[in-house]
Structure 1
Amino acid sequence: MSDMTPAVGQHAPDGPDGPDDATGTTRRLLLRVGSVLALFVAAGAAGGVLWERLWQAPTGLAYDGRWYLEPAGPDFSFEGIALFVLIAFPLGLVLAVLVGLWRGHETVTVVAVLVSAAVAAVVMYAVGSALGPPDPQALAAGQPDYTPLPGDLGLTAPDRGRVRWHSTALVVLPAGAMAGLVGSYLLGNWGFARRPRG
């Protein structure tokens, strides 16, 4: 019977709960979080481009140094917001379903998806509004009366003094992502997920 204890000065191999396994698990978790964040940010940027491409800028007029939507009305004011919601919710839903297929470490995945979806919503807004026309209220200040100016792409009504991104529409992408992730986990428990072989 041989002695299994290592001699003095020798290093015992790390077992399943040893430092090598902990480092490998941490590395895999960081890779998962980084991959989820990269996927959501890239999709958020693509969503912002799509948002700006599908949106039709409303027209308005400069009058007395201010910009007024012409014709006025909520259907023109909130068209950009509605379009943002129509793109962001399904985008978050699909991305989260894809991430939900990556089984294991569900708690880390939920937190990563929630944070990444919030970042993606901000990226989507930033890209879309950067590609759209500039703020017409700022442009109207130096224009003669009745000069036509296009509206800008934002998440609030185009009123003077409004902050363009102060809107609950930014929570739509994270809400879609959470719905998709919960759905993928529930459907996975009903047998739609990949089953282990053997």
Structure 2
Amino acid sequence: MSEPAVRSSPLPRVLSVLVLFVAGGAAGGVLWERLWQAPTGLAYQGTWYLEPAGPDVSFEAIALFVVIAFPLGLVLAVLAGMWRGHESATLVSVLVGAGLAAFAMYAVGHALGPGDPQALAAGQPDYTPLPGDLGLNAPDQGRVPWHSSALVALPAGAMTGLVGTYLLGSRGFVRRPRG
């Protein structure tokens, strides 16, 4: 009789994938803040106004976040998917890790960026130039800076990378002997 195969625990893999994604998200946040150029605005009657106003200026941070987050998720998931075995645990940990990484990327980038211009404008004289803050929506008063569908970019890239790894990896199209 042969001994049953000893199954290893998926816990080390889950923790490794989570750490990989959170660290990658934090690095992505640093890159996001470094590449972004803060739009300028003016303080007027205690309120900050984007100058020049326009959707192209307020959309730059969101577009840059997506341009960084999707490929980052793709690469991190390919790295996680190359580790064979415990595919279900890997799938769940990549999905959870990608969500955490997206939030870490936002939190690090936002923390490194300039402060909230609406709060800074409150005590400034009229027409004082102030930089905008790094957020994922238009810099309008009363908006929560992280309520954005752009946070889905990193998990979308991660799922694309993981599916691609599993379908096209070394086991995907290997010709099996017949008969």
TM-score normalised per structure 1: 0.84
Higher relative contact order (CA 8 A, sep 6+): 2
Report what 1:187 is aligned to. Answer: 168
Cα distance in 1 for residues equivalent to 2:95 and 2:35: 26
Report what 2:4 is aligned to. Answer: 16
Gaps of 5+ in 2: 175-179
Report what 1:66 is aligned to. Answer: 47
Q: Deviations over 1:12-62 (max 9, x none)?
A: xxx537xxx46xx22xx1100010011111110100000000000000000
Report what 1:95 is aligned to. Answer: 76
Gaps of 5+ in 1: 1-14, 192-198
Report what 2:18 is aligned to. Answer: 37
1:77 partner amino acid: S
Extract structure 1 runs of 4+ deviating beyond 2 A: none
Task: Calculate percent identity across the aligned residue pairs.
Answer: 77
Aligned pairs (5 A) from 1:49-64: 49-64=30-45
Deviation for aligned residue 1:98:
1.1
Cα distance in 1 for residues equivalent to 2:114 and 2:13: 37
The alignment partner of 1:61 has SS state of: strand
* 1:117 counterpart = 2:98: yes
Cα distance in 2 for residues equivalent to 1:41 and 1:16: 36
- Report the aligned-residue RMSD: 1.0
TM-score normalised per structure 2: 0.92
Larger Rg: 1
* 1:137 counterpart = 2:125: no
